[in-house]
Amino acid sequence: MASEEAAVIARGLTKVFGDLVAVNAVDLRIEKRQVYGFLGPNGSGKSTTIRMLCGLLTPTGGNIDVLGMEIPRQAEALRRRIGYMTQHFSLFGDLTVRENLEFLAAVQGLAAAPARRRVAELLEEFHFTGMERQLAATLSGGQKQRLALAGSIVHGPELLFLDEPTSAVDPESRRDFWEKLFELADAGTTLLVSSHYMDEAERCHRLAILDHGALVADGTPAELTGSLEGRTFAVEAWQPRRAKATVLGVPGVISAAQIGNSLRILCDSGDGIEERLSRALDKAGLQARLSAARPTLEDVFVAVTIHQAPGETAETP
């Protein structure tokens, strides 16, 4: 079942905690040297899936093959070849930047001399020169994430799991952080990144969207947005709140979100929706301008997660 190109293959991956089905029959295939995104709201099973793939949680059902190894049976051997960056900062706050990296290098099995070289290299590469003696607990959010990333690649893993690495980081740090991720991907590392930021999802080579433990969409960002072609519209109106109420009353409209003075509308695949919309807006006497809009990943996200509540219309934030 091992494959030359795939870093991760999972079939029917399931995890049940008591009555809760946290991950429900998820099939995954992650090609090597890719940045693979895991998108989903909180509690959708992203972390649980990642933990099962690293061998930290035992799946209730399904098969996992990571780097040609059967998980969880060969989890111990896999640990030398993967890096894992946890969702919450998990380095030692009462150790300095350098001490944290030194510790991880030794624990990952690097010999003394290579470890010294590697730590020096990482300190330089991750801009920690001059702050090596600072306690990790006193670092800013962005610096902590940088240190955690440096720590997770001390041993040069082939596959790196990152669980919401940027959830507590300012936008600029996020951009820098992603630069680093792409450098790693260019150098041949496969990355699995979970996130709930749409702009981050758009950067991934390929995406999986999880909702309530189920895989609801899977593909490249272009494929995913392409599937919504013709289903997204923008409405510009003087009274956007009234326009929104009107639009939501039109059959076939899945969601309408207000962005400033305009509305973003997502519809199901029904035909003739554009006419129905403009008729409804005219009838309501709203001076509104309707136009087709290019679908975004956010639209995809709304479209695939909305099915969980059939018959209801939802608002996107």
Partner 1 sequence: MNLRRLWAIVIKELRQLRRDRVTLAMIAGIPVMQLILFGYAINLNLRHLPTAIVDEAQTTASRQLAMDMLATDIIRPVAQATTAEGVMALIHRGEISVGIVIPRDFERRLARGEPVAQVLVDGSDTVVQSAASQLAQLPVTTPATERDRASVPLPRAPISVVSFYNPQRVSAINIVPGLIGIILTMTMVMFTSVAIVRERERGNMELLIATPVSRSELMLGKVLPYGIIGLVQTTLILLLGMWLFGVPVRGSAMDVYWAALLLILANLSLGLLISTRAQSQFQAMQMTFFVFLPSILLSGFMFPFEGMPLPAKWIAEILPLTHFLRLIRGIMLRGADLMELWPEVLALLAFIALMMTLAINRFSKRLD
Q: Applying CB under 8 A, does 92 fall inside the site for partner 1?
A: yes
Q: Applying CB under 8 A, does 53 fall inside the site for partner 1?
A: no
Residue 163 gets the label, from left (phi > 0), alpha (psi -120 to 50) or beta, of beta
β-strand partners of 262: 236, 259
CA dist., res. 137 & res. 132, Å (int): 13
Binding segment for partner 1 among 69-77, 169-177, 207-215, 278-286 (CB under 8 A)?
A: 69-77
Length of the chain: 317
Q: Applying CB under 8 A, does 114 fall inside the site for partner 1?
A: no
Binding segment for partner 1 among 88-96, 184-192, 206-214, 269-277 (CB under 8 A)?
A: 88-96
Among 1, 2, 107, 259, binds partner 1 (CB under 8 A): 107
Select 157 or 240, whichever has its Cβ closest to partner 1. 157
Select 86 or 246, whichever has its Cβ closest to partner 1. 86
Among 90, 138, 140, 261, binds partner 1 (CB under 8 A): 90
CA dist., res. 179 & res. 201, Å (int): 14
User: Least distance from C-beta 107 to partner 1, angstroms?
Assistant: 5
Q: Going by C-beta distance under 8 Å and a sequence separation of 6 or more, which residues neighbour residue 244?
A: 256, 258, 263
User: Least distance from C-beta 48 to partner 1, angstroms?
Assistant: 9
DSSP characters for 123-174?
HHHTT-TT-TTSBGGGS-HHHHHHHHHHHHTTT--SEEEESSTTTTS-HHHH
Size of the site for partner 1 (CB under 8 A): 34
CA dist., res. 243 & res. 236, Å (int): 9
Burial (CB count within 10 angstroms: exposed 0-12, middle 13-18, buried 19+), residue 180: middle
Q: Applying CB under 8 A, does 121 fall inside the site for partner 1?
A: no
User: Least distance from C-beta 54 to partner 1, angstroms?
Assistant: 6
Cβ proximity of 189 and 160 under 8 Å: yes
Give, as ranges, the residues between 144 and 203 that touch partner 1 (CB under 8 A): 151
Q: Is 7 helix (H, G, I), strand (E, B) or coil?
A: strand
Q: Applying CB under 8 A, does 95 fall inside the site for partner 1?
A: yes
Q: Applying CB under 8 A, does 80 fall inside the site for partner 1?
A: yes
Select 83 or 240, whichever has its Cβ closest to partner 1. 83
User: Least distance from C-beta 51 to partner 1, angstroms?
Assistant: 6
Can you give the binding site for partner 1, defined by CB under 8 A?
51, 54-58, 72, 75-76, 79-80, 82, 84, 86, 88-95, 99, 102-104, 106-109, 111-112, 135, 151
